[in-house]
């Protein structure tokens, strides 16, 4: 089984690429989904996050208000590091469990883990191949503002905390340029899939 990491920058088109790879038969594991799971009530990180950041980050139903938590940590590097220290271990454990399940069920398959901060967290070394979804910074800003309702300043601040996309591109095995039409991004993704499939079946 081939282990593949899919990353990029803020609003760079990772999820679109992941969906297409899933349509072609890859097993998609989304780090963001796992983050939601471990932070949910009863999840492995819920108690530690609440202990670190206080009960006032909770909604009435006991769920962590991710927007409120984000406002509390993202302009404070030490707080963000503390949150990541709590979140990353259980997320990585769940990733490994899911990858192992794919290996058992589809030994010649392709497991693709989609994660925004793969290089920043140091987890890129877990994968045999890395795909980076990339587009110009002005498009990242426009997409983030339209998708997430961010102001330009908020989107720029998020970008500033990530490894520059150009550096991620430099480290990638495959780069998919998402700045064109959806059809063009799909064509590039299909080409990468064919390359991955040929590697997986060796």
Structural domain count, the chain: 2
**Whether 165 and 74 share a structural domain:** no
Distance (Å, rounded) from C-alpha 117 to C-alpha 109?
24
| Single residue among 52, 84, 107 that ends a domain in this structure | 107
Provide the pairing of β-strand 2-8 with 174-177: unpaired
- The verdict on 83 and 44 lying in the same domain is yes
- 50-78 as b/e: b if 16+ CB within 10 A: bebbeeebbeeeeebeeeebeebbeeeee
At 6, which helix (H) or strand (E)? strand 2-8
Distances 160 to 40, 175, 176 between C-alpha atoms, Å: 28, 21, 22
Q: Are 134 and 177 in contact (CB under 8 A)?
A: yes
Residues 64 and 94 in one domain: yes
User: Do 21 and 118 belong to one domain?
Assistant: yes
Q: What are phi and psi of 121, to 5 degrees?
A: -85, -10
Domain boundary among 54, 89, 107: 107
129: tokens are 């191949």
Q: Identify the domain containing residue 119 by its residue range.
A: 1-26+109-202
Cβ atoms 173, 6 nearer than 8 A: no
Question: What is the mean pLDDT of each successive set of 10 residues along the chain, which is 202 residues long?
Answer: 96 96 98 96 96 94 93 86 94 96 96 95 94 96 91 88 93 97 98 96 74
* Whole-number pLDDT of residue 184: 98
pLDDT at 149: 86
Q: Say what the pLDDT of residue 202 is.
A: 67
Q: What is the rounded CA–CA span in Å between residue 139 and residue 178? A: 10
What is the reported pLDDT for 104?
96
């Amino acid at each position: 089984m081939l282990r593949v990491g899919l990353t990029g920058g803020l609003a760079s088109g990772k999820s679109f690429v992941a969906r297409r790879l899933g349509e072609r038969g890859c097993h998609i594991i989304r780090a963001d989904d796992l983050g939601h799971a471990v932070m949910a009530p009863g999840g492995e990180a819920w108690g530690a996050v609440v202990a670190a950041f206080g009960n006032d980050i909770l909604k009435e139903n006991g769920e962590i208000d991710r927007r409120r938590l984000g406002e509390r940590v993202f302009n404070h590097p030490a707080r963000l590091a503390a949150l990541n220290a709590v979140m990353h271990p259980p997320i990585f454990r769940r990733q490994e469990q899911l990858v192992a399940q794919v290996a058992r069920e589809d030994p010649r398959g392709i497991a693709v883990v989609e994660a925004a901060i793969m290089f920043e967290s140091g987890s890129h070394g877990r994968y045999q191949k890395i795909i980076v979804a990339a587009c110009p910074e002005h498009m990242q800003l426009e997409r983030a503002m339209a998708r997430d309702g961010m102001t330009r300043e908020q989107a720029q601040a998020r970008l500033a905390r990530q490894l520059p996309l150009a550096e991620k591109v430099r480290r990638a095995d495959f780069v998919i340029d998402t700045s064109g039409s959806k059809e063009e991004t799909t064509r590039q993704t299909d080409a990468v899939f064919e390359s991955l499939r040929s590697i997986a079946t060796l």
